[in-house]
Amino acid sequence: MREEAEERKILEQQRKKIEQEESKYQTEIEKAKEVLAITTDDKQIEDLQRKILELQGQLSDVAIKKEEISQLQNGKAGNVYIISNLGSFGDNVFKIGMTRRLNPQDRVDELGSASVPFRFDVHSFIFSDDAVGLESRLHSILNNQRVNKVNLRKEFFYATLEELESLVSELDPTAEFNKTMIAEEFHQSQSTDVPYISDYVDQFSDDDE
């Protein structure tokens, strides 16, 4: 519930920002049209017409974002994500959750920012008008494979990439699935010689002798 409240707060902030952009483009279009109505210079007319077309395109993009935010705010729409963290949980544990963030990657980055030692890899973002229902269905199918069978709010499951790919394809054939487990930070950490505390202890012991 706290997570949902935070996401709705972020969406509201994004909505206000989008509305400011929308107002700015509308004002600029009106000003350009006013100048266009009184100018007789062919070059200026051409420049103004080009500018108006560009602004209308930007306004259209803003309108689409505004509609997406409204959809996320007022319904069950959102993105179901499937992510892994090889360095933290191994190669057969996946987190399956959902977010209403306009950019679902923001939520994944947040999950990997402090609570785990490495960033998460994203295997799929599945947009749905009923993301809550889709998440619930995935959790139900994988219920016997839960890592934590006591606290059902913990959304970690034992599975293979092939199993999840097949499941995603069955539930939403249009959804993309990435089978690569990059684990960049983990692999870099494994290949980097980092001194451990024990190394310093041995060094101090040698100095004392």
Q: Buried (b) or exposed (e) across 107-123, using 16+ Cβ within 10 A?
A: bbeebbeeeeebbbbbb
pLDDT at 4: 67
Q: Which residue has the tokens 């972020």?
A: 10
Q: For the chain, 209 residues long, give each residue's pLDDT as a single digit of tens.
A: 666 677 777 777 777 888 888 888 889 989 988 888 888 888 888 999 989 899 888 888 887 777 777 666 666 778 999 999 999 999 899 999 988 887 889 889 988 887 789 999 999 999 888 888 898 899 999 999 999 988 888 899 999 999 999 999 999 999 999 999 888 888 888 876 555 444 444 554 455 54
Say what the pTM is: 0.62
The confidence score (pLDDT) of residue 1 equals 60
Local structure of 103: helix, strand or coil: coil
Strands 121-128 and 156-158: unpaired
Q: What residue type is 136 in one-letter code?
A: S
pLDDT at residue 200 in the model: 44
Question: What span, in angstroms and rounded, lies between the C-alpha atoms of 180 and 83?
Answer: 11
Q: Which parts of 15-147 are beta strand (E)?
A: 78-84, 93-99, 121-128
- Structural tokens at position 88: 């933290």
